[in-house]
Structure 1
Amino acid sequence: MNKIISILVICSLSFSCKKEVKDENQKLKVVTTTSMITDLVKNIGGDLIEVNGLMGSGVDPHLYKASEGDVSKLVNADVIFYNGLHLEGKLVEVFEKMQHQNNKTIAIGESLDKNTLIGSDYFASNYDPHIWFSVENWKIITTFVINKLKEIDPKHAKVFETNGNAYLLELDTLEARLKKKIATLPKEKRILVTAHDAFSYFGKAYDFNVVGLQGLSTATEAGVQDVQKLASFIIEKEVKAIFVETSVPKRTIEALQAAVKSKDHEVSIGGTLFSDALGNLETKEGTYIGMFEYNVNTIVNALQ
């Protein structure tokens, strides 16, 4: 990481790395970190902006390290949108350095009232950064991004506002569908066991008891005692299914399933959930809306 920071410093002084003079008709260059943010910014900016996402499908932002190939994208960006709240833990130093160089870096997590955030000892921010798993949070963040793009590129403010408002209506429709689907699952069955605790905002918003084997960060490892304790919980609560995540190795959930079986009980793997990244771009799950609907359908169908 120190090597990447050094490159950023050199690039800030080097002619070859300096931003090109921007033609007034040139598209706004936006760099995003996670695929959720990439999808959001594209929905608002449309064809008026050029978006480069650093993290693709299945990429774990907790462990992501900037490559030297990312440097030119970061240095030449007009604006960088990232999650913040130490989700991109290994990029924090890079963004702090860029702020000192007067680069436009914007943490979308700053748009949320800290009183609504879920506390966490796993991150330096002291908050759970998985804020996208509340559609209400995502609506607030959408409005925040609309306003930031309007400030940065005022000549296209009307288009950003129109696109953003259309997307907010899509989020309203999404939430109505999610609540209707979740309502079919009795409250006593709403126990969500996953590889790591990325779904706390989901649990809070939709009345699920969420338990993650690895805690909030994939940088932590689940120990034998953690597995055995959670296995006993699953048996006691008669949990029907547990879930793998796309950005976390499935061996942790398989170990949990084996621990339950060793106690003469059975629990199925209910499917794979998208947690820290969206699906492939060419799929419905490659969008925030498609991902969220897929997750809810998978969870509810497996726990029925």
Structure 2
Amino acid sequence: MRFFSLAALLAVVATISLLGCSAASDTADATRKPRVVATTGMVADMVRRIAGDAVEVTQIMGAGVDPHLYKATRDDVATILDADAVFYSGLLLEGKMADTFVKVGRSRPVYAVTELIDESKLLTPDGAEGHADPHVWMDVATWAGGIPVVRDALVELLPEMSETFAENSAAYETQLAELHAYARTKIATIPTSARVLVTSHDAFNYFGRAYDLEVLGVQGLSTESEAGLQRVNELVSLLVDRKVAAVFVESSVSPKNIRALIDGAASRGHEVVIGGELFSDAMGAAGTTEGTYVGMIDHNVTTVVRSLGGEADACGFTGKLSGCDE
């Protein structure tokens, strides 16, 4: 009879264990969903709507996070490097993450959702140094132009799911077209003289163009810009002269500049109230209607219409806005 030493026996067991682990790892890699990273909620929501359950989506920036100022953390970089594909909004919205995208793009697919949007539909305000306004999602019809980017990228990742991605894309396009029509119809009910939207920063220019509103922001396109005293005084005079009744704060921007407008108008004998909080650079909390792109825009439209004298049901386009049944 042949005997094995204890060391030899342990070596055999270790080899078998390693082979088993390797096989299990190969099986896990073959069955796991592709990992996709998205920066903002608006981008992540588009990916989820088109991908369905086919991929695992990680959203870097949550509710209330300002993408203009956001810097990728060490954990963010690790998550991005582990992803099979990365989606971001583009047009310098996530300016402080630009270097990260360049480096990651050398080893894995990185897509800007806005890259195929017709340049003729982009706004380049004065003082923007030739850079297009990145807040494209505020015009629902224009934002829908990013759907083909996401659809085609997902098809590259999972070719066998191409039919599903096409169907999901078509359904999302239909819903966004209906939302766009809702916004135009409801905002048209605001008296013409009252269609003045004053917010914390210039995030609503596309919104104003698409839905026929005069939009004025205290700060510039980026929240990094400072609101000068002259700008505040100009807006206070406008509020008083045109008897604007309401101004709006933003969920991802400090309300201090809006409060300065209210105080300034009050010192001149004109009362202005906060018409509500709008979602500009970030959506609402996860798990709420406002935590989806459709719900975000629905909330903004419904809030603006009801605060500026128009007619809209409190439950909005979706019929599910937070607090509408209270």
TM-score, length-normalised on structure 1? 0.89
State the shift of 1:96 in Å.
Answer: 1.4
Question: Quick one: structure 1 residues 148 and 124, their matched pair in 2 at CA, closer, same or farther if it must change by over 3 Å?
Answer: farther
Give the secondary-structure state (helix, strand or coil) at the position aligned to 2:31.
coil
State the shift of 1:122 in Å.
Answer: 6.1
Q: Which residue of 1 aligns with 2:36?
A: 30
In the alignment, structure 1 residue 243 sits paired with structure 2 residue 248:
yes
Amino acid at match of 2:36: V
In the alignment, the residues of structure 2 paired with residue 30 and residue 164 of structure 1 have an alpha-carbon distance, to the nearest angstrom, of 17
In the alignment, structure 1 residue 49 sits paired with structure 2 residue 64:
no
In the alignment, the residues of structure 1 paired with residue 93 and residue 203 of structure 2 have an alpha-carbon distance, to the nearest angstrom, of 11
In the alignment, structure 1 residue 142 sits paired with structure 2 residue 141:
no
Amino acid at match of 1:91: M
Runs (4+) off by over 6 Å: none
State the shift of 1:187 in Å.
Answer: 2.3
Q: Deviations over 1:247-297 (max 9, x none)?
A: 001111001110111112111110100000000012110011111011111
In the alignment, the residues of structure 1 paired with residue 124 and residue 210 of structure 2 have an alpha-carbon distance, to the nearest angstrom, of 15
Q: Which moved more, 1:277-286 or 1:124-133?
A: 124-133
In the alignment, structure 1 residue 216 sits paired with structure 2 residue 221:
yes
1:1-304 paired onto structure 2 within 5 Å: 23-99=29-105, 101-120=106-125, 126-304=131-309
In the alignment, the residues of structure 2 paired with residue 192 and residue 120 of structure 1 have an alpha-carbon distance, to the nearest angstrom, of 17
1:122–1:216 contact (8 Å) kept in structure 2: no
Consecutive unaligned residues of structure 1, counting only runs of 5 or more, are 1-19
2:87–2:110 contact (8 Å) kept in structure 1: yes
1:121–1:127 contact (8 Å) kept in structure 2: no
Amino acid at match of 2:67: P
Question: Kindly, what percent of the aligned residue pairs are identical?
Answer: 45
Question: Quick one: structure 1 residues 122 and 158, their matched pair in 2 at CA, closer, same or farther if it must change by over 3 Å?
Answer: farther
1:31–1:54 contact (8 Å) kept in structure 2: yes
Q: What RMSD over aligned residues (CA atoms) do the two structures have, in Å?
A: 1.6
TM-score, length-normalised on structure 2? 0.84
In the alignment, the residues of structure 1 paired with residue 246 and residue 82 of structure 2 have an alpha-carbon distance, to the nearest angstrom, of 46
In the alignment, the residues of structure 1 paired with residue 270 and residue 89 of structure 2 have an alpha-carbon distance, to the nearest angstrom, of 40
State the shift of 1:143 in Å.
Answer: 2.5
Q: Deviations over 1:50-70 (max 9, x none)?
A: 000000001000000111111
1:38–1:53 contact (8 Å) kept in structure 2: yes
Give the secondary-structure state (helix, strand or coil) at the position aligned to 2:52.
helix
Q: Which moved more, 1:245-254 or 1:148-157?
A: 148-157
Q: Deviations over 1:129-177 (max 9, x none)?
A: 0010111112211132112211222111111111111111111221222
State the shift of 1:102 in Å.
Answer: 3.0
Q: Which moved more, 1:47-56 or 1:256-265?
A: 256-265
Please tell me whether Structure 1 or Structure 2 has the larger radius of gyration of its CA atoms: 2
Q: Which moved more, 1:231-240 or 1:194-203?
A: 231-240
Give the secondary-structure state (helix, strand or coil) at the position aligned to 1:66.
coil
Between the two proteins, the alignment pairs up a number of residues equal to 284
1:196–1:215 contact (8 Å) kept in structure 2: yes
Amino acid at match of 2:174: L
